[in-house]
Structure 1
Amino acid sequence: MIYQGNAITVARDDDAVATLTFDLADESVNKLSASVVEELAEAVEAVRHAPGVEGLILTSAKEAFIVGADITEFHAMFEKGEDEILAMLERVHGIFNALEDLPFPTVTALNGLALGGGCEVALSTDFRVMSESAQIGLPETKLGILPGWGGCVRLPRLIGADNAIEWIAGGTQNKAAEALRMGAVDAVVPGDELAAAARDLLDRARAGELDHKARRAEKTTPLKLDAIEQMMAFETAKGYVAGKAGPHYPAPIEAIKVIQKGAGEGRERAQAIEAKAFAKLARTEVCYNLVGLFLNDQMVKKQGGRYARQARPVERTAVLGAGIMGGGIAYQSASKGTPILMKDIKEEAIELGLKEARKLFAKQVERGKFSVEQMAERLTNIRPTLSYGDFAGVDLVVEAVVENPKVKGAVLAEAEDAVGEETVLASNTSTISITRLAEHLKRPENFCGMHFFNPVHRMPLVEVIRGERTGDAAVAATVAYARQMGKTPIVVNDCPGFLVNRVLFPYFGGFSQLVAQGADFRRIDKVMERFGWPMGPAYLLDVVGMDTAVHAGEVMAEGFPERMADMGSAGGKSAIQLMVDHQRLGQKNAKGFYAYEEDKKGKPKKVVDEAALELVAQLAEGEREFSDEAIIARMMVPLCLETVRCLEDGIVGTPAEADMALIYGIGFPPFRGGALRYIDAMGVDAFVAQADELAAELGPLYAPTDKLREMARQGERFYQDGGQA
């Protein structure tokens, strides 16, 4: 044994070949924490001085090679300041350079994910061989930073500047065939042949058949591009990437600039350019929030995993109601491999649901996600039916009929009589109390909410709602099924609107008040889109459907009358109600705050509609100019306050779950981290002061809670040091 650590061992065989194995103790994956990086330094030094070694293979004893740096360390490290970050980067560059400069050939065997720092370790060796199922990539830009351990230097020299820009700016995970085509790896083999293939590459290099020194020279010298080629590669890419990334995500453009500045430099100078840019990005609020988002996502997934481990197997399911939503649920279940019955009382509804599922499968075939054969196979996972004949063997039933408590209650009671005693019933309701719906059931402990967001195949969130009599087994099974469907479930307690809609409607209330006081809804949309929302509130209401919004608003008003009754009404009527009164329901009938035409792809495209402007003008108190800052405050404060109330009321368990639900459910700007991180960034005291000022004019929707005032007095945050909730 040449070296033995907690995460790394180096052993030599009888033929002068050393194998460095990553196997982080007590973890399911390999991560490059600060301590593991130090072990790597010691291991490289040990193998350099080990007598008789003529080659080195890097490998992993886990299913993945290395999933990247230990992101849980990022907030604490980045808060130390730029000098500390630069010192850390210089240290890591020194270690990876020492690996690259070993006096014999080196090969990495990539058996699974090699991401971020894991990819950068592999790039430091002379050759790479990859199993067919492995993936490789540099996803750092998704965290608001860029590859800082040599990725911006070595990858362009291996695969060319344009290809490296695509990988790095896009933060993509790339399959083995693509990596081989690009030249990022030298061979791709079945997993059971990986060790032999790595050894074969090494032996060929030792024999002089492969020139490992030429490989090193390629990675450590300037990029072979003349001035015109550089301009074509980098300037064109900047324009394209800026358009894709948008103004709130600086890392992709910064990565291109780093590659460009380092193109004419040798290894060490190019790495210094990379390090400086990394340290600058690491200190930004965008990076802080995106790293926090990653940590929140991991926490939410672990929470879901804990529930799922307690669940009985969910192997057969059913959906009641075969409309667009039912078809979407059936598609999502079938596409992920869980068979599903799709029941309705009408043949035409069944056909509509099947048509929706077929359409979604066809799109996946167009995108190359499924072959035609795979589509046909997965479609057989959906079994349409007009009766409850096969329901006795179903593990979980999702009710997705019309949003009407009487209809849902009747359907759920009917279904309960047809299923087994342990079958879980779940209602895909967006507003109706789960406790109230449970009154119709004999086994309320087997019943909970399972709120999907539309469109089902795109929206990652599923709210799992626990009613007053819901049992743990029902929650666990529903969480497990949501995970099987590829969704992110978040468990919340029952209340009007649950979590996401309860928080969204004060945001709409802020919008309605602005419009009632004379603000131009088109300008509100533009301001909030610049703020980072995927669409402004008027556009979002058109997508949701004005009648749906009115119904949900009535539920909120009944549940929270002191602050949500008459939100934004003028003369007893809101702009949303006005739209419904004039049959302007949004995209569903091609007119709402905007009118809608079909674009070239057949999708609705919004256009300004003078009739809508005239309608709203009748409602408003007259035209009034609001600053961008005023619009943002009046929109965001009620949304953030309602999120605080949901946390205080125990509707949601943690700040992380609350923030992730808003990001996944309604498109809260990810680079802002969520409503509670937004308050933290402003400062709780500053937020309370802003809310108090608005409440004096606008009423209780803007009034801070007593607990929030106390947090402000105590200087507390929702996320403590290191960004943990």
Structure 2
Amino acid sequence: MIYAGQHLKLIQLESQLAELVLDSASSANKFDQTTLAEFHNALLKAKSANLKGLLIRSEKNHFIVGADITEFLTKFNLPLDELNQWLKQATDIFDLLEDLPFPTVSAITGYALGGGCEAILATDYRIVDHTAQIGLPEVKLGIMPGFGGTVRMPRIIGTDNALKLITTGSTNSADDCLKLGLVDAVINDPDQLREAGLDCLKQAASGDFDWQTKRAAKLSPLQLSKTESLMCFNLAKAMVAQHAGPHYPAPMMAVNTIKAAATHTRKQAMLIENENFITLTQTPQAKALVGVFLADQQLKSNVKRITKSVSPPKQAGILGAGIMGGGIAYQSAYKGIPVVLKDINQQALDLGMKTAADLLSKQLSRGRIDQAKMLKALTSIQPSLDDKPLTQADIIVEAVVEKAEIKQKVLKQTESISKPDTVLTSNTSTISINQLASELARPEQFCGMHFFNPVHRMPLVEVIRGEKTSNETIAKVVAYASAMGKSAIVVNDCPGFFVNRVLFPYLAAFNQLVCDGADFRQVDKVMEKSFGWPMGPAYLLDVIGIDTAHHAQNVMALGFPDRMPLPKLNLLAELNHANHLGQKTKRGFYQYQTDKKGKLQKQTDDFVDKLLIEKGIKPNQFSEQEIIDRLMTPMLNETLRCLHDNIIDSAEAADMALLYGLGFPPFRGGAFRYMETIGLENFVKQADNLADLGPLYQVPNAAREAINQQVNYLNNAESKL
């Protein structure tokens, strides 16, 4: 033993070789401050130990999952000169590894991400087993590689390939890494990985492999002609501008960093990377995206805590075989949980099965599954016109028409034929869980399970607790959602629950703004391009369905008559009356035509314009900021009310629900993060300036007090991890 720490050890082998074994005292290897310091100490010991070669491997199922962002985040808040000093010291450790006076080999199993990837890039050879997943995902946190990734990656796999991997933050399989030249060999049997790594090291140490030439390429400028450089970086910038857009500066900064460093040796290139990395750490996007990461980790931790004493169901049932029911059935079967898809109408069953089959076919055509998995998933969905197959279900999801009396009847009938311990849930998006439970014999075994459409794409499931819902029921439903690959957030019952409750004030504000003369097309453009929503409010309503939104609007008006009454000029009611239901009828706020690929493309429509003229409403001009403030203030206000009313239990959960359920722009981090970014006092002033527009714009006193508790939002999120 040459060196031993808490998280790794350096062991002397025969023939003057050594292995640095990563074996963290925690569940996974990661570069926290302690591990990084031990890594440095081990390398110093190796350098002075008269070795002829070093193998780096992991004793765990993963190599290094990345840096510990919860620790390094505190570094981002340091004065810039201190942050720069720390970063330089960290990158010097990876340079030390690369400069060892003997060959180095990394043997990689499982994840080698972020700092873990940058560590293996500093070695001379990289041998992986078939489980390896390698990548630099830092742009997803609003930053870029900071331990030499932008310097070494292009010099190993070429500039074009490196730009694609770094700017997308993609994680790559063992075979893909071999094709790129990122690794030198793939070993099929993980048990043989160490021996393969040692064999490579011995050949390098004996001079059979020219490791010095491989290393020299990483220390030198990139070998690009002026023409190649111009084409390469201009194309990369165009691609980044198209896919990342102006709201995400990290990918473009990575391109500019690699370009600026292209003509320099490693030493100067590292300084350029250090400087640009620090610049990104100070952006609001980095703070927001890191906040999303931390909140997501908190969400996963909550799920583990809630479900620790239960297992996912072995058999599920779905009541209602429309597009939604078919989507839920597909998701369950695809994730390995057999499901009975029950309906009273054969045509509906056929539609549900077709929905599932079409989704599986798409997975097959994209190479994500093979024929065997497709057949297994499809045959694990049992369509039925009869209740009998449901008697063996551990959990049943009701997804029939959104009418309380029908849902109550279906749920009561299903409860009567189900097992005593079967959990019943409703996929309702608006109807009170307490109301639906009122006629059940076992209301403690019932809750809401609100999926979002399309089910296979939307990651959120709202699990709605009723007054009598038991903790065990919540745990079982969260476990089912997790087994389906969904992020479950538990909320309490109220009209609209959480997501729809905060969405409809936003939509009400949109109706009011258009009735005040705004062009809904301009509003959509501002909210998409400037604010960052995936869809503006008019387009969103067309996708949801005008009839569906109109129904929910009525539910919200009944539930919150003071804040969300039906407007005098109700655009949803007018469109619904004209049967302009959005994409389902190919007319709503917009018209829709099918392109050659079968996708609906929106085009302008003058129905709303004519309606406004008939009502005597004159066009009015609003600035981008006025549009954003008028639409977002009611949503933010309602989010604050939901936290204060205990509909949702934390700011982190609220933000993740909005990101996963509505597509809230990730670079803004969610409602609470957005309020923190613009300044909580500024938000209150903004709302007060708009208060004459109605109750939705008025910040309640209780919420004003709650605002003060959110000032340390980020620190609170960190402390819970």
Letter in 1 for 2:420: E
The aligned length equals: 718
Match of 1:519 in 2: 518
Match of 1:8 in 2: 8
SS for the counterpart of 1:440 is coil
TM alignment of 1:610-629, pairs within 5 A: 610-619=606-615, 621-629=617-625
Tell whether the 8 Å contact from 1:688 to 1:708 is kept in structure 2 after alignment.
Answer: no
TM alignment of 1:112-261, pairs within 5 A: 112-189=110-187, 190-261=189-260
Tell whether the 8 Å contact from 1:74 to 1:291 is kept in structure 2 after alignment.
Answer: no
Q: CA-to-partner distance for each residue in 1:362-419, whole Å, 9 max, x for gaps?
A: 1111111112222112211111111122222211111111111111111111111121
- Alpha-carbon distance between aligned partners in 1 of 2:616 and 2:6, rounded to the nearest angstrom: 68
SS for the counterpart of 1:515 is helix
- Of residues 108, 111, 115, the one that matches 1:110 is 108
Match of 1:709 in 2: 704
Superposition RMSD in Å: 1.4
Shift of 1:241: 1.7
Shift of 1:621: 3.1
C-alpha change, 1:462 and 1:715, in structure 2 (3 Å) is: closer
Q: CA-to-partner distance for each residue in 1:625-652, whole Å, 9 max, x for gaps?
A: 1111111111000001111111111111
Match of 1:543 in 2: 543
- Alpha-carbon distance between aligned partners in 1 of 2:651 and 2:704, rounded to the nearest angstrom: 17
Query: Would you say 1:577 and 2:573 are equivalent positions?
Result: yes
> What TM-score, normalized to structure 2?
0.98
Query: Would you say 1:689 and 2:685 are equivalent positions?
Result: yes
C-alpha change, 1:665 and 1:337, in structure 2 (3 Å) is: same
Query: Would you say 1:557 and 2:562 are equivalent positions?
Result: no
Q: CA-to-partner distance for each residue in 1:199-243, whole Å, 9 max, x for gaps?
A: 111111112111111111011111111111111211111111210
- Alpha-carbon distance between aligned partners in 2 of 1:600 and 1:616, rounded to the nearest angstrom: 34
SS for the counterpart of 2:293 is helix
Match of 1:377 in 2: 376
- Of residues 54, 57, 64, the one that matches 2:55 is 57
Match of 1:85 in 2: 83
Shift of 1:620: 5.9
Tell whether the 8 Å contact from 2:295 to 2:717 is kept in structure 1 after alignment.
Answer: no
Match of 2:433 in 1: 434
Q: CA-to-partner distance for each residue in 1:258-306, whole Å, 9 max, x for gaps?
A: 1111111111111111111101111000011000000001111111121
Q: CA-to-partner distance for each residue in 1:28-80, whole Å, 9 max, x for gaps?
A: 111111221111111100111124x2211111122111111111124321111
Shift of 1:12: 1.1
- Alpha-carbon distance between aligned partners in 2 of 1:424 and 1:254, rounded to the nearest angstrom: 50
Shift of 1:718: 4.0
- Alpha-carbon distance between aligned partners in 1 of 2:642 and 2:709, rounded to the nearest angstrom: 21
- Alpha-carbon distance between aligned partners in 2 of 1:129 and 1:260, rounded to the nearest angstrom: 29
Tell whether the 8 Å contact from 2:463 to 2:490 is kept in structure 1 after alignment.
Answer: yes
Shift of 1:715: 9.0
SS for the counterpart of 1:557 is helix
- Alpha-carbon distance between aligned partners in 2 of 1:119 and 1:392, rounded to the nearest angstrom: 50
Letter in 2 for 1:662: L
- Alpha-carbon distance between aligned partners in 2 of 1:620 and 1:474, rounded to the nearest angstrom: 54
- Alpha-carbon distance between aligned partners in 2 of 1:196 and 1:643, rounded to the nearest angstrom: 56
Tell whether the 8 Å contact from 2:332 to 2:484 is kept in structure 1 after alignment.
Answer: yes
C-alpha change, 1:711 and 1:377, in structure 2 (3 Å) is: closer
Tell whether the 8 Å contact from 1:688 to 1:712 is kept in structure 2 after alignment.
Answer: no
Match of 2:658 in 1: 662
- Alpha-carbon distance between aligned partners in 1 of 2:238 and 2:311, rounded to the nearest angstrom: 51
- Of residues 696, 699, 708, the one that matches 2:694 is 699
Query: Would you say 1:650 and 2:646 are equivalent positions?
Result: yes
- Alpha-carbon distance between aligned partners in 2 of 1:304 and 1:417, rounded to the nearest angstrom: 30
Shift of 1:722: 7.6
Letter in 1 for 2:207: G
Shift of 1:23: 1.7
SS for the counterpart of 2:429 is coil
Query: Would you say 1:534 and 2:530 are equivalent positions?
Result: no
Shift of 1:714: 8.2
SS for the counterpart of 2:106 is strand
- Alpha-carbon distance between aligned partners in 2 of 1:461 and 1:623, rounded to the nearest angstrom: 38
TM alignment of 1:375-454, pairs within 5 A: 375-454=374-453
> What TM-score, normalized to structure 1?
0.97
- Alpha-carbon distance between aligned partners in 2 of 1:84 and 1:247, rounded to the nearest angstrom: 29
- Alpha-carbon distance between aligned partners in 1 of 2:403 and 2:716, rounded to the nearest angstrom: 46
Tell whether the 8 Å contact from 2:32 to 2:71 is kept in structure 1 after alignment.
Answer: yes
SS for the counterpart of 2:705 is helix
Letter in 2 for 1:11: I
SS for the counterpart of 1:564 is coil
Letter in 1 for 2:584: K
Q: CA-to-partner distance for each residue in 1:118-157, whole Å, 9 max, x for gaps?
A: 0000111111111101100000111111111000011111
Match of 1:365 in 2: 364
C-alpha change, 1:381 and 1:234, in structure 2 (3 Å) is: same
Match of 2:23 in 1: 23
Query: Would you say 1:101 and 2:90 are equivalent positions?
Result: no
Tell whether the 8 Å contact from 2:298 to 2:717 is kept in structure 1 after alignment.
Answer: no
SS for the counterpart of 1:329 is helix
Match of 1:481 in 2: 480
- Alpha-carbon distance between aligned partners in 2 of 1:470 and 1:464, rounded to the nearest angstrom: 11
% same residue: 50
Which deviates more from structure 2 when the two are superposed, residues 178-187 or residues 378-387?
A: 378-387
Match of 2:674 in 1: 678
SS for the counterpart of 1:136 is strand
Tell whether the 8 Å contact from 1:429 to 1:450 is kept in structure 2 after alignment.
Answer: yes
SS for the counterpart of 2:438 is helix
- Alpha-carbon distance between aligned partners in 1 of 2:535 and 2:708, rounded to the nearest angstrom: 35
SS for the counterpart of 1:89 is helix
Query: Would you say 1:599 and 2:598 are equivalent positions?
Result: no
- Alpha-carbon distance between aligned partners in 1 of 2:641 and 2:575, rounded to the nearest angstrom: 30
Tell whether the 8 Å contact from 2:285 to 2:667 is kept in structure 1 after alignment.
Answer: yes
C-alpha change, 1:388 and 1:15, in structure 2 (3 Å) is: farther
SS for the counterpart of 1:587 is coil
The runs of 5 or more residues in structure 1 that have no matched partner are: none
Which deviates more from structure 2 when the two are superposed, residues 73-82 or residues 116-125?
A: 73-82
Letter in 2 for 1:79: N
- Alpha-carbon distance between aligned partners in 2 of 1:642 and 1:712, rounded to the nearest angstrom: 12
Letter in 1 for 2:102: F
- Alpha-carbon distance between aligned partners in 1 of 2:719 and 2:595, rounded to the nearest angstrom: 44
Q: CA-to-partner distance for each residue in 1:541-582, whole Å, 9 max, x for gaps?
A: 11111111111111111111111113xx2xx23112111122
SS for the counterpart of 2:523 is helix
SS for the counterpart of 1:491 is strand
C-alpha change, 1:484 and 1:94, in structure 2 (3 Å) is: same
- Alpha-carbon distance between aligned partners in 1 of 2:512 and 2:412, rounded to the nearest angstrom: 41
C-alpha change, 1:391 and 1:235, in structure 2 (3 Å) is: same
C-alpha change, 1:175 and 1:250, in structure 2 (3 Å) is: same
TM alignment of 1:318-357, pairs within 5 A: 318-357=317-356
Q: CA-to-partner distance for each residue in 1:493-527, whole Å, 9 max, x for gaps?
A: 11100000000000001101101111111111111
- Alpha-carbon distance between aligned partners in 2 of 1:249 and 1:620, rounded to the nearest angstrom: 42
- Alpha-carbon distance between aligned partners in 1 of 2:612 and 2:549, rounded to the nearest angstrom: 17
- Alpha-carbon distance between aligned partners in 2 of 1:17 and 1:74, rounded to the nearest angstrom: 33
